[in-house]
Amino acid sequence: MITTKHALLLLALFTLGLAQTVPVIPYDSIMEDRVSVDGEIDNEDGPEYPGTYVDNAAGLTVHWGFDDSLLYVGLETRGRGWLAIGFGSAKMHESNMIIGFYTDDSTDVVNHIAANYTHARSPVSDSAIREAEIDFDEETGITTMEFIYPLKFPAVSGLAIPGLEPGDTFDVILAQNTKTTAFAAKHTNQSALKVKLADNPRLKQQEPSSPGK
């Protein structure tokens, strides 16, 4: 017989388990072939990205995967303001943020360096973005931002962290402002989470064997 006390304990354990679930960005050696950076997530013939994470707090769906040197990311929202993803910190401070917006008159996807509670574009850091596109689908009402980012960031780019290592767990922030495209405006939705970059099986194969094995 399950008592109220036992039911509450089970619920607490279940909730804790959900809270500790860490999204994993999958490795795929053919990311260049499967992903088209065109401002649209095309899953008609199968998933364009090997991994997808839905963040209800931020109001964003994240599609992602990586290969031997590059990280591929697609963000989707029904908001019409700016949207962003930041790497390296659970807060805005000391994170690398890729932030973008779409309007009928203009679009932009840039790299911001965050310090304290503000963030600003660092033109030299834009070189870290290898390819980017943002678009709005009037039929679905979805804004999509896609970009390609290096796993090892250029030393001269002024980025907050040196890079992302396969197998490591790191902090990510997701944010958007659903009302305005002004980057100076505070987010209306935000989320902070831990994310794991999957192991790269090719690197595992290259690791030297331990003595005696």
- Taken in order of first residue, the domains within the chain and their CATH numbers are 22-200 (2.60.40.1210)
| pLDDT score at 90 | 79
Q: Using a pLDDT cut of 70, give the percent of the chain over it.
A: 76
Contact by Cβ (8 Å): 41, 74 = yes
Mean predicted confidence (pLDDT) in 60-79 = 97
CA distance 101 to 183: 9
Cβ pair 67, 29 in contact under 8 A:
yes
pLDDT tops 90 at residue 67: yes
Q: Is the pLDDT of residue 17 over 70?
A: no
pLDDT at 62: 98
pLDDT value of residue 128: 78
Question: Which tops the pLDDT comparison, 50 or 154?
Answer: 50
The answer, as to whether pTM is greater than 0.85, is no
Tokens of 57: 């707090």
For residues 49-75, give the mean pLDDT: 97
Q: What is the pLDDT of residue 93?
A: 67
Q: Are 153 and 165 in contact, with CB atoms under 8 Å apart? A: no
| Unique residue bearing structure tokens 């659970």 | 90
